[in-house]
Amino acid sequence: MTARVTRTQVGIIGAGPAGLLLGQLLARSGVDAVVLENRSREYVEARQRAGVLEHDVASLLRELGLADRMDTEGIEHGGIYLQFDGERHHIDFHDLAGRSVWVWAQTEVVKDLVAARLAAGLALEFEVSGTAVHDLTADEPRMTYRSADGEQRELVCDVIAGCDGFHGPSRAAVPAGLLTVSERVYPFAWLGVLADVAPSTDELIYAHHPDGFALHSVRTPEVSRLYVQVRPEEDIADWSDERIWAALQTRLGLPGWTLHEGPIREKGITPMRSFVAAPMRHGRLFLAGDAAHIVPPTGAKGLNLAAADVVVLAQALVAWLVDGDERLADSYSDTCLRRVWRATHFSWWMTSMLHTPPGQDPFDARLQLAQLRHVTSSRPAATDLALRYTGQPLP
Ligand SMILES: Cc1cc2nc3c(=O)[nH]c(=O)nc-3n(C[C@H](O)[C@H](O)[C@H](O)COP(=O)(O)OP(=O)(O)OC[C@H]3O[C@@H](n4cnc5c(N)ncnc54)[C@H](O)[C@@H]3O)c2cc1C
């Protein structure tokens, strides 16, 4: 079948946070892009994932005119609680770092980005299939795909942005041997639930417990997001709502504090891994977000790293495609990877400090408690956590 051929400056694979945000940043500088997504609009707008925006990522959305709903419906959090050994301690981000985070779900960020792109008449195609990339080291790389109505298409580009998440085709298109992969698979997973009950806390509670980690997160004033550490091979069918609430009550419970229960709307198990592929560029293909790196969710960094990548990428592509200056594109991978590794370290550190590995050595358990006590009693240590949680400044 002959493909219909069209042209754009930047072909973006993936309408997740990375691809959509990149599209907005490029449009602001007059760079043309087409975003291709293999799922439906309804699917990407409903997919439950991250929920915490770093200080500067929230500011970026404001700067792009994408924060009206976040500012009215989202919740600013000025800290988190760390709980261990029957005590709950507050880490005050405002006081320690002069910064905050925003509790505003990834699904809502995606809804606003999709709406803004479509309202501006910018190209965004859902339900495409067979997306493939070609000629990545040539001057005009190409993407081929089948549109939702079954037409075979070819998109000729100046540059391709692989924003297609961990399982997308971009990273896999880099020839074998050119990418170095660094990986750590953790011996636990998170069982997460979305519950129709008002949060029992004003800010997130990260709880260390001998039975395993638990997190009380927040979605809206009416909806709670809660997690318990489970084994990676755990079957969700073995976790009735009663069993989940019982585990949460045990791990989060404190005398004088009540965890309110409610109907569980959604539940799922997410394995935890750290993964970094380098470099994040091959010829005219640039990887961004989960396509290049994954962090365990304990540090709330996944979505924020995706945003930071595309801020760097947008600057680089505007300099290259508008001003003919390729230097930022050449340094894209190194610039991003410095931040990625700092976030990878922070996410690993939070994960290691708070989770109880199977068959944990009592010595390691004492070390975790010593670390938690240090972070909650030393102002420099707490400040370091506050600065890292609220995020490095965006470039
Ligand atoms: C189940 C789960 C729970 C998570 N929870 C948290 C959390 O609590 N806190 C946190 O900070 N982070 C969390 N994360 C991580 C965070 O959500 C990701 O880091 C973030 O989604 C990265 O954005 P992205 O745009 O790079 O990738 P994605 O959001 O994965 O977007 C990639 C897009 O590409 C599309 N795509 C894939 N293949 C193709 C193709 N062939 N053609 C066209 N399009 C394609 C996908 O459908 C998707 O829409 C979670 C991730 C998962 C998977």
The verdict on the CB of residue 303 being under 6 Å from ligand 1 is: yes
- Per-residue pLDDT, 48: 84
Q: How many CB atoms lie within 10 A of CB 18?
A: 30
Active site residues: 77, 206, 297, 301, 389
What spacing in Å lies between the alpha carbon of 176 and ligand 1's midpoint? 24
217 ligand 1 Cβ < 6 A: no
Q: According to the model, what pLDDT value does residue 2 have?
A: 85
**Phi and psi at residue 97, in whole multiples of 5°?**
-125, -5
The CA 26 to ligand 1 mean position distance, Å, reads 20
Ligand 1 contact, 295 CB (< 6 A):
no
**Is any atom of ligand 1 closer than 6 Å to the C-beta of 141?**
no
DSSP bridge partners of 155: 6, 143
Residue 395's pLDDT is 86
Determine if ligand 1 sits within 6 Å of the CB of residue 226.
no
Task: Return the residue whose CA atom lies nearest to atom 11 of ligand 1.
Answer: 300
% helix, strand, coil for the chain, step of 5: 40, 30, 35
Closest approach atom of ligand 1 to CA 305: 19
The greatest distance separating any two alpha carbons of the chain, rounded to the nearest whole angstrom, comes to: 70
Length of the chain: 395
pLDDT score, position 49: 87
What's the 222 CA to ligand 1 centre distance in angstroms? 25
77 C-alpha to ligand 1 centroid (Å): 24
Report the atom number in ligand 1 closest to the C-alpha of 169: 41
Query: Which atom of ligand 1 sits closest to the CA of residue 21?
Result: 25
Other beta carbons less than 10 A from residue 235's beta carbon: 9
Pairing, β 123-125 against β 79-84: unpaired
Give residue 45's Cα distance to chain centre: 15
Atom of ligand 1 nearest to the CA of 130: 41
Ligand 1 pocket, mutate which of 25, 101, 164 (most atoms under 8 A from CB): 164
Q: 382 pairs with which residues across the strands?
A: none
Tell me how far the alpha carbon of residue 165 lies from the centroid of ligand 1, in angstroms.
Answer: 5
Three-state DSSP state, 262: coil
Does 192 contact ligand 1 (Cβ within 6 A)?
Answer: no
Whose CA is closest to atom 50 on ligand 1?
Answer: 49
Nearest CA to ligand 1 atom 52: 49
In angstroms, rounded to a whole number, what is the distance separating the alpha carbons of residues 265 and 223?
A: 10
Take atom 15 of ligand 1 and give the residue whose Cα is closest.
302
Residue 149's SS3 state is coil
267 within ligand 1 shell (Cβ under 6 A): no
Cβ-based neighbour number of residue 74 at 10 Å: 21
Q: Which residue ranges in the chain fall short of pLDDT 70?
A: 1
Q: What is the pLDDT of residues 11-51, one digit of tens each?
A: 999 999 999 999 999 999 999 999 999 999 999 999 988 89
- What is the atom index within ligand 1 of the atom nearest the CA of 225? 8
Phi/psi of residue 309, each to 5°? -55, -50
Q: How many A from CA of 20 to the centre of ligand 1?
A: 12
pLDDT at 1 (0 to 100): 64
CA of 14 to the centre of ligand 1 (A): 9
